Amino acid sequence: MFLPRIPLIALCLALGSVPLASAGIVYSNGLPNQTSGEEMTHWMHGDDIVVTAPFTFDTIRFWDLEPTGGASYNGSVVWVVNQDNPGFPAVATLGSGAATPTRSVIQSFTSGTWAGYDEYQNDISLSVPITLSAGTYWLVLHNGGYGFQTDQSFYWETTDNNGTSHSYNFIRTGAPPGPWIINNLSAPVAEAQLAFQLLDSAGAGTPEPATVAMAGSALGLLVLSRRRRRN
């Protein structure tokens, strides 16, 4: 006695159709809302990362608005992951560096407040992944190296109010990391929340739990089929 071959083949085909996990978002402070931004060449800006369960990330993604055809991007972005003070970025850091992000134009504005500006997505790959345990941290970004201190209309885009702390800034003519000054926007939304995500590429090719379960079922049925054939 043996199991029919067709169900097993169908199961294997179904197993092959289940996608593998790819690089994923492990933290999101919110998507850009195209309504405002904080200039990040004259200033450095930081927004909080509220961690409820530990995660590891190796990519920082943020969005900016800059004049079309202009030279507001300075060829690199300084990034810092700060400890919490609490309530604003502290001196101690978990990682920092100057990186050249992968940049892609999302859209160009031809009307409205941002007419003549492009929206870019920027992905910064970290050479060493960072693991955050539960707690509060801060992502700090600056357009160009520390020597760039002139307003160049390079704006870190805001996101909708996400219920966490305001973002903060300090003018680059001061010594890092401050004094920090709270970012405020005009009414009706006073809080300046900045759009960014943290991603982990290490999960690429790792099966989802459902895939693992299906694989186990398929192997179990195959083994059972072979045993029954021998009987």
| pLDDT tens digits for range 93-119 | 999 999 999 999 999 999 999 999 999
**How far apart are the C-alpha atoms of 231 and 220, rounded to whole Å?**
17
- Tens of pLDDT, residue by residue over 103-159, are 999 999 999 999 999 999 999 999 999 999 999 999 999 999 888 889 999 999 999
CB atoms closer than 10 angstroms to residue 187: 5
**Beta partners for 47?**
139
Sheet holding 168-171, edge to edge: 89-99, 77-84, 135-143, 43-51, 168-171, 181-182
| CA 59 to chain CA centroid, nearest Å | 6
The residues, any chain, with a CB within 8 Å of residue 125's CB and separated by 6 or more, are 58, 59, 99, 102
Per-residue model confidence as pLDDT tens for the chain (231 residues) = 333 343 433 433 333 433 334 469 999 999 999 989 999 999 999 999 999 999 999 999 999 999 998 789 999 999 999 999 988 898 889 999 999 999 999 999 999 999 999 999 999 999 999 999 999 999 999 999 888 889 999 999 999 988 888 899 988 765 555 688 888 876 445 668 999 999 999 864 333 333 334 334 443 433 334 444 444
CB neighbours of residue 56 within 10 Å: 13
Helix (H) or strand (E) holding 7: helix 5-17
Strand, helix or coil for residue 226: helix
Does residue 24 contact residue 203 with C-beta atoms inside 8 Å?
yes
Give the global pTM: 0.77
